[in-house]
A and B are shown apart, each in its own frame.
Chain A
Amino acid sequence: MQYQSQAVAKPYFIAAIVLFVGQILFGLILGLQYVVGDFLFPEIPFNVARMVHTNLLIVWLLFGFMGAAYYMIPEESETELHSPKLALLLFWVFLAAGVLTIVGYLAVPYATLAKITGNELLPTMGREFLEQPTITKIGIVIVALGFLYNVGMTVLKGRKTTVSVVLMIGLVGLAVFFLFSFYNPENLVKDKFYWWWVVHLWVEGVWELIMASILAFVLIKITGVDREVVDKWLYVIIALALITGIIGTGHHYYYIGTPTYWLWWGSIFSALEPIPFFMMTVFAFNMVNKRRRNHPNKAATLWALGTAVMAFLGAGVWGFLHTLAPVNFYTHGSQITAAHGHMAFYGAYVMIVLTMISYAMPLMRGRAAANSNKSQVVEMWSFWLMTVSMVFITLFLTGAGILQVWLQRYSENPQPFMVVQEKIALFYWMREVAGVIFLIGLLLYIASFFVGRNEPEAVAK
């Protein structure tokens, strides 16, 4: 670790991993509720479990992004962080807000939560992924402002690199687009229109910038390839991500009451959205093939290559699968969407955070470059278990989705939703088994932090 203040990233990463475990546990509960409808009812109803599963994902990824930024920015800027104390204070504020919100979801009915948090003063609750009480949303904005001030001041006083500037653009974009969660018009079409400005422009816009910059940072460190080469790739990737992703928002505007030109704009631009992910995959493999040194942290290299591949598959291929308007007419909101969502989030954002943790954690825990071989072997096992089980989760959900579309929407005699759900239950069971294997992989990942701690550090061969 080159700068002492980079250590503030450590609690962020630890919190991210703990919340990740919570997310997966609730995922397993949800998966079981698909086939055993009254499992844990009325203690944890399906809608609550789903809300906790998705909200935990968002919160832990934000912890991961902030941790990554606190680690990267001092090193890129070649100076200490502007205020490590502020970073730690904001960590506790964000953690308290996040935990209280989740406890609120679980402890009281959602309507009661809305009432006791004063939602009627500025109604923002009740929308998918943005279910947080208004007061939590205000807390998120305050944390984001403090965070951006802290890393922004660090960038301003130090060296400016392409990596840090792209990261900052991504983080500022993240904060700015979150503000649309406060806009909650009566008109349902307008509501959905701007809701996507948060959801889509995060994951298919500014988050891609964050992902690309973290990937670039780790690849520079582990391959030793010239920064100029990486910079050129980064320019092309982020340009393509924004060109395709911004107007690609249109693929959410099909058949919801928006003008019909969105059928064309959405189809054309979102069909191009796989390109930046394709470029990221070529970029990652190209850098590793052109490496100038063998870094002893093999696990971080594996995560870096893995995130590029899985993001291309999940976001690129599975996104393209149902993005064209005539196809989406049938597939919208089916299990095909769930398949895409799972693999895309895992590939692009879960894995990039784990890439960063894999690279940075050994350094923050006193290693010169990497963990012991034993620890890395366990970590690489966790990589394969989680990644392969996510591939199977995606395949099972895709199979379920295709059958669902056929039986419920495409055939001459469409069947009711719940009848079809029973017919695809086998896929849900198989998804649940794959989910259990995913959890085992995650537990192994946590074990890798404790295994081989007293053994010597791995060396480059």
Chain B
Amino acid sequence: MSSRKVVVALLVLLVVIIAVAAWFFLIRGVGAPTVVKIGKIDPANLPAKETLSSALFGAGDIPTLDPSLAEDTTSIQMGLELFVGLTRLNEETAQVEPGMATEWKVSDDGLVYTFTLRQGIPWVHYDREAGEVVVVKDEQGNPRYVTAHDFVYGVKRTLDPKTGSNYAYVNWIIKNAQAVNGGSELGDQDPLYGKVDEIGVRALDDYTIEYTLTQPASFFPGIASMWINWAQPKWLIEEKGDKWIEPENIQSYGPYVLGDWTHDVSATLVANPFWPGIDSVPKPSIKYIHFTMLDESPSFANYEAGLADVAGVPLTELDRVKADPVLSKELSINPEFCTYYYGFNVTKPPFDDVNVRKAFSWAVNRKAIVENVTKGGQEPARWFSRPGLTAAPDPAKGDDFGPPAEGDPVKAKEFLAASKYGGADKLPEITLMVNQVEGHVKIAEAIQQMWQETLGVKVNLVTQEWKVYLDTLDSDPPQVWRLGWCYDYADADNFARGVFRSDSGNNHTRWKNEKFDQLVDQAAVETDLQKRHDLYVQAEKILVEEDAAIIPIYWYTRVQVTKPYVTRTYGLGGHEAYEKWKINK
């Protein structure tokens, strides 16, 4: 064989190698690996040193993983690990930080927000059979990166009336969104109804999103952090329908991926090796997060037995935990941006009479409840918007109105005497309804007895299971009912306007007050902080004092125990940022 032939052969070989390499790099796009082997997950037997077992979820299944449909803290907690919004609320300060968007601009009139997106973050899926985290590919075999189109799709899907999102009303601030969603006066007769392409959100290019609002709203970057505005995988949802959130299908892009979801029992998250880590959402340090779905008491028993690393503390165990030399050091009590309240159905007698409502509110000794029943360092609430939220009234700033913390039995009796009923014996039968949870029932019994002792009114106490209870509140609220409200974005707007404006989906009182609506609308567009605060003070005075549509009871705290080898942060809004936690076992 001559040397020339060898050269030709080598050249041919070289060409073949280059061609194959080019095929790999250009067509398959294998610049970086697209598969990372994790190994198969056995939820009952995870490696202890790399696993955080969280008992913070209650009994019952995670309601949903669909960002458009999530409305409870459990679903949102899971979502926050699987997805990241354009912005992210810091769990400890509630301040807006960049999330998937690196920066955003607002137009001079405050109506147009433009977000610039981070590049190169892929959609991933955990393949349970192979035990691998796999980057999702499109039809051409290229990796799918999260783009502006995915975010726009998410917004439109939330607002599509066919999706049936209960949280869509928060997005009505976006141009045309209210009409498209069916919230305008014309309802489904509105010419825009269901026309999601008319909504004021669009992708300027693959990595730029523009929102057009109906009014200036300083809190909009907070709304942009919410689950209803996360990116969603259009291709997957169109193929799998409502099964897209099941572990065999789901695709996500956040710090964790869904490793396992055994319905009603447990869920396991696996650290996403493709999440690059950003300032607000670092690359997770703990490899597995294991959530169990148990009631408070068994959860806490598991914690004591060393089967859980973090758990809530049931009311009944609190005395012992506070005194125990070991548990007391593991106990943490932190403020939580939530308000616990009783609402009246103001259309049902006797609560159609404002004086009866006031009598019931003034008869409640909030201080006794937080000191002797809940005992977790909660603060007696005198109005609805929790202090600490932007522009919310704050006792520390000298705001002083609403029913007194200790109640006022004398005034309560006067109010009842001044009502059209004149006294306790002429009142119709009254039912107080709460959802079936140990703690809520105990508080309800205490308040039931306060009404009995102060006003001489016998009130029936009825409990219902959470899902049924929510249906009852939607369809036909009982005379008095219980709810809590936690912040979605840390602004008083989320409380006052978000819950009690007359058209809010979360207002179960059937109470309407034009002046209140005006005040909260005005506060929403106002930019001066002091003026906003003053407007909320006026609005809250109407809500809890003049009209007494609700009985504010207390402002929450979060009472938890954490094992000493866990380094953690403390969430303000009913969920935690597990991606920031560490284990030092």
Q: Do A and B form a real pair?
A: no
